[in-house]
Structures are given as structure tokens and as C-alpha cells.
């Protein structure tokens, strides 16, 4: 059976989108501290491909007027500084389009995002009370829904008639696209490569961890026979790495 094809490039029909609002939807894949060697180069290749494909979309369907980036809660240069902190590989793509006249808009909500993170941590504690677990789930859901509603509202209100916008999010499933907007999913083959490589690296890390645990249980040296010159993480860390949502 042929492997699942995850990456693709969607080429729009320019004549069908003239005068319409357009969303160029980009999957957010950001740097991961402690990732194994090879992740950073593949991540760079992915964002380079995104830049190229968005440029192709601009030539066919319209230049980017607005930019929305997950985790960015302020607009303009302050927002660009946040992009450099949370997703450095995407910075130049965003900066170049701002230099060409596009506006980086406030998109996320810091308080709601913090609530989601904290409620998520509470759910991982291992509670003995179902009533407490239900309250935590309710609070988590409410915060997540409010955050996505705010994102949807920002897109609806800030993307003007006939304008094109880049929307960079880890998942758009809960975000409503603007009324009447044409959506183009920017998914180059480099995303497929990055996802597959990440899965393989995760499986290898888990297998090595399992072997180490078995060696310790048997009273053996878990590092015996391991070549430490290979596979060290690019950004420090323990060497055991689990990928994020990519």
C-alpha cells in the first residue's frame, strides 16, 4: 500500500476569486527545543516552501493584505517581535510581506491561551473526583471555545472585501473562516516530509527509551554499545524527544 500523501500544493483558479476575500491557510510548525539533529533543517525547508507557495498564490489570486499568526496577540512591529520568539523560521516570510504593505494583525488572546494551558495541566494530574474532573473539563472547553471564537471574529472583521490574508495556525478545525472567503490550503510536500520524519524520530526515541528501561531492569548498563556521536539533539536537552502537534 502506498504511504499516505500528506503534502500537496493547491493551485487556485484566479478568475474564480477576483473580488472575493481569500485565506491562505498555513499549518504552524514551530521550533522544538531538544529536537534531534535533522529537525531544524527540515523545518527551514518547510518554511522556505511555504514562502514560495504563498508567492505563487499571490501571483494567481492576489497579494497578501493581512497576516494572522497563532500566539500573536498584538499587531504591527510588536507582533512581529512575537513571531520571532515563537516561530523564528516564519519571521522573514512575515517581515517581507509587511515590508510590501501587508498588516500583521492581533489574532490570539494571551489570557485565554494561558487558561487553556493551566486547565490542561490540571487534567493531567490524575484526579480522584469525577466532579472536579468535570469542572476542569468544562472550564477548559469554555476557554478554548472563547479563544476560537475570538480568532474567528478577528478574521471576519479584519479581512476586507477582495483582500487576501495569510492565516498561520496549528489547527484550523475550530476556527470559522470569514463569510464568503475562498480558502487555499498551503501544504507543500515538505510538510509531508517533516511529518513523516518526525514520526520516525519519535518512534526511534521511544524504542531507545524502552531498551534503556529493559537494560536497567536487567541490571545492565543502559548506555553500553550506544554511539553518542550520532543523534544528539540540536538544541540541547536530554536526547529523548516527543514531537508536538506537527
Q: What is the DSSP string of 165-199?
A: EEEEES--TTSPPPTT-EEEEEE-HHHHHHHHHHH
Residue 216 lies in a domain: no
55-86 pLDDT per residue, tens: 999 998 999 999 999 999 999 999 999 999 99
pLDDT at 223: 60
On whether the CB atoms of residues 109 and 133 are closer than 8 A, the answer is no
pLDDT at 237: 35
Residue 209 lies in a domain: no
* Domain that residue 174 falls in: 8-107+161-198
Residue 212 lies in a domain: no
| Grid cell 494571551 in the structure block, residue | 110
116-146 pLDDT per residue, tens: 999 999 999 888 999 999 999 999 999 999 9
3-61 pLDDT per residue, tens: 334 444 455 565 577 789 999 999 999 998 887 788 999 999 999 999 999 999 999 89
pLDDT at 200: 82
pLDDT band for 204, please (50, 70, 90 cuts): confident
On whether the CB atoms of residues 100 and 127 are closer than 8 A, the answer is no
Residue 184 lies in a domain: yes
Residue 91, classed as helix, strand or coil, is helix
Alpha carbon of 38 to those of 35, 43, 59, 232: distances in Å? 8, 9, 32, 10
Residue 62 lies in a domain: yes
On whether the CB atoms of residues 123 and 136 are closer than 8 A, the answer is yes
Say if residue 245's pLDDT is above 50. Answer: no
Give the global pTM: 0.79
Residue 129 lies in a domain: no
Residue 224 lies in a domain: no
Strand order in the sheet with 22-27: 8-9, 182-187, 22-27, 164-169, 64-69, 103-105
Residue 74 lies in a domain: yes
Work out how many domains the chain is built from and give that number.
1
* CA within 13 Å, CB half, 202: 12
pLDDT at 4: 38
Amino acid at each position: 500500500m502506498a504511504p499516505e500523501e500528506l503534502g500537496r500544493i493547491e493551485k487556485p483558479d484566479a478568475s474564480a476569486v477576483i473580488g472575493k476575500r481569500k485565506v491562505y491557510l498555513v499549518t504552524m510548525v514551530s521550533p522544538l527545543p531538544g529536537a534531534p539533529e535533522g529537525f531544524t533543517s527540515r523545518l527551514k525547508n518547510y518554511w522556505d516552501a511555504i514562502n514560495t507557495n504563498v508567492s505563487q498564490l499571490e501571483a494567481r489570486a492576489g497579494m497578501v493584505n493581512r497576516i494572522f499568526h497563532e500566539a500573536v496577540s498584538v499587531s504591527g512591529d510588536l507582533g512581529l517581535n512575537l513571531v520571532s520568539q515563537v516561530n523564528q523560521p516564519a519571521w522573514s516570510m512575515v517581515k517581507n510581506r509587511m515590508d510590501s504593505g501587508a498588516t500583521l494583525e492581533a489574532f490570539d488572546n494571551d489570557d485565554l491561551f494561558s487558561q487553556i494551558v493551566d486547565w490542561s495541566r490540571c487534567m493531567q494530574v490524575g484526579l480522584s473526583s469525577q466532579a472536579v474532573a468535570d469542572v476542569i473539563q468544562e472550564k477548559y472547553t469554555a476557554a478554548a471555545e472563547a479563544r476560537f471564537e475570538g480568532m474567528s471574529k478577528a478574521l471576519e472583521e479584519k479581512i476586507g472585501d477582495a483582500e487576501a490574508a495569510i492565516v498561520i495556525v496549528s489547527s484550523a478545525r475550530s476556527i470559522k473562516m470569514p463569510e464568503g472567503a475562498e480558502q487555499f490550503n498551503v501544504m507543500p510536500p515538505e510538510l509531508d516530509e517533516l511529518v513523516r520524519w518526525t514520526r520516525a524520530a519519535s518512534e526511534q526515541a521511544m524504542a531507545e527509551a524502552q531498551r534503556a528501561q529493559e537494560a536497567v531492569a536487567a541490571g545492565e548498563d543502559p548506555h553500553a554499545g550506544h554511539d553518542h556521536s550520532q543523534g544528539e539533539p540540536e538544541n540541547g536537552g536530554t536526547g529523548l524527544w516527543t514531537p508536538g502537534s506537527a
